[in-house]
Amino acid sequence: MTQSTASTHAFIAALPKVELHLHLVGAASVPTVLELSRRHPGGPVPSSEEELRAFYAFRDFPHFAEIYADVNRLVREPEDVATLVTGAARDLAAQNVRYAELTVTAYSHQRMGMSNAAITEALDLAARAAAADHGVRVGYVFDIPGEAGPEAARATLDHALSTPPEALVGLGLAGIEQERPKYRDAFRDAFRAATAAGLHSVPHAGEMSGPETIWEVIEGLGAERIGHGISCVRDPRLIAHLKETQIPLEVCPTSNVCTGQVRDLASHPLPRLLEEGLFVTLNSDDPPMFATTLNGEYGVAARVFGLGEAELAALARNAVRASFLGERAKREIIDEIDQVCAAGPASA
């Protein structure tokens, strides 16, 4: 490692961060998944580290979704939900993350037999433990698995409005984007009700489909942030709209490569998004499944795309500003970022 590389690595490690695009099940570290696999044996998820890492070699997005569902089925009890949250907080704390908005597919936990009240209690207890034990504040986004259609939309909305965890901040929409058009009205209705109740709209779009999916979440779901959004580069009018409105994009480079949405990191449109003046944040998505971390994504931005410390700090500030923290909490984290920048490489 050269002195310059070591300096950048130290800067990234010292930089206070916010993570906005992190799926709860996908955030489960290898040790956590192995713990759940041994706790609930007999399924397809391996119980040895070597086999699990091989299990995470994805052919394409549908294969990734299949593997993700297998891991998801290990989450069978409220204790498992809490284990995921506190494990994620531990891993985030090691990367100097101050706040994370965890995407929770509550519907999948309901399908495993958990009640809304039990899921919410586990999330509440775990959020308090994350703050007390690891110094990481947690917000939750309940996402609808898009391919599950109106039933999932209704069940997720009902949970969000009737028995929400204390830290619930938004409603999301994920899953196979190509399945969404036939359920468009159900998703629009759900997001209309959620935003009317004060929740934020944070759907995925433009990850595995074209700009039309991004337009739909903007015009039909009132998106305040967009998960991924990378196919916007195919539509100059959409690029212009995103630049004008400054709707934040939750960009996850390594994820896009691992699920086959982008050929390789060098082909990723992140530099183009920045050149166009879009509001970009860096995120890790499902980090252990993709052998990355949030720090690793900042490292990719530096190593592959040539971003310097000032540009990395700007991305960190973007994530703070795009979060649903209160203004005072945002200011505190941005002040911390500024202090690290002022200290210089030697102190970092």
The catalytic site residues sit at 207
Rg (CA), the chain: 19
Residue 32 main-chain phi, psi, to 5 deg: -70, -45
Task: For strands 168-174 and 137-145, give the pairing.
Answer: parallel
Count Cα atoms within 13 angstroms, Cβ side, for 212. 6
User: What is d(CA 150, CA 291) in angstroms, rounded to the nearest whole number?
Assistant: 33
Q: Which residue, among 231, 268, 224, has the nearest Cα to 101 in the 3D structure?
A: 224
Distances (CA, A) of 112 to 39, 119, 147, 199, 251: 15, 11, 17, 25, 31
Name the one residue in this structure whose structure tokens are 């509440």: 124
Coil, helix or strand at residue 21: strand
Count Cα atoms within 13 angstroms, Cβ side, for 106. 31
**Would you say 270 and 302 are in contact if contact means Cβ atoms under 8 Å apart?**
no
Q: Which amino acid does the sequence have at 198?
A: G
How does DSSP classify residue 173?
Answer: E
Residue 24 main-chain phi, psi, to 5 deg: -60, -50
Residue 260 has a CB neighbour count (10 Å cut-off) of 15
